[in-house]
Amino acid sequence: MGPLGALEPRTLSESSTQSSPGGGLVPPDEEHAVITRLQRGDRAAFATLYGWYGDLIFRQAILPRMPHRELAEDCLRETFRTALEKIATFRIEERSVFFWLRRIAINKAIDLHRRNQRDGRLALAVHLDPSVPQGGRIDAPDRGLEVEDTRREVEASLAHMNARYARALRLRLIEDRSREECAEVLGVTVGNFDVILHRAAKAFRKVYPP
**pTM for the predicted model, two decimal places:** 0.54
Which residue range is the domain that position 98 belongs to? 3-118
Mean pLDDT of the chain: 76
What does the pLDDT look like over 21-52, one tens digit per residue? Answer: 345 889 999 999 999 999 999 988 999 999 99
Query: In terms of domains, do 22 and 101 share one?
Result: yes
Residue 53, number of CB atoms within 10 A of its CB: 29
Query: In terms of domains, do 108 and 127 share one?
Result: no
What does the pLDDT look like over 155-184, one tens digit per residue? Answer: 888 888 999 999 998 888 777 788 899 999
Query: In terms of domains, do 38 and 90 share one?
Result: yes
What does the pLDDT look like over 178-201, one tens digit per residue? Answer: 889 999 999 999 888 988 988 888
Query: In terms of domains, do 88 and 170 share one?
Result: no
Could you tell me which of 80, 135, 60, 151 has the C-alpha nearest to residue 143? 151
Start-end of H helices in the chain = 12-15, 28-39, 44-57, 69-86, 97-118, 121-128, 143-159, 163-169, 179-186, 190-207
Could you tell me which of 1, 82, 89, 3 has the C-alpha nearest to residue 39? 89
Q: Measured in Å, how far apart are the chain's first and last C-alpha atoms? A: 28
Query: In terms of domains, do 60 and 100 share one?
Result: yes
Element (DSSP H or E) covering residue 120: none
Instruction: Tell me the C-alpha distance between 163 and 191, whole Å.
Output: 19
Compute the average pLDDT of residues 87-97: 87
Instruction: Tell me the C-alpha distance between 167 and 177, whole Å.
Output: 12
Of 87, 118, 149, which marks where a domain is finished? 118
Query: In terms of domains, do 151 and 169 share one?
Result: yes
Residue 151, number of CB atoms within 10 A of its CB: 13
The pLDDT of residue 206 is 84
What CATH number did the domain enclosing 108 receive? 1.10.1740.10
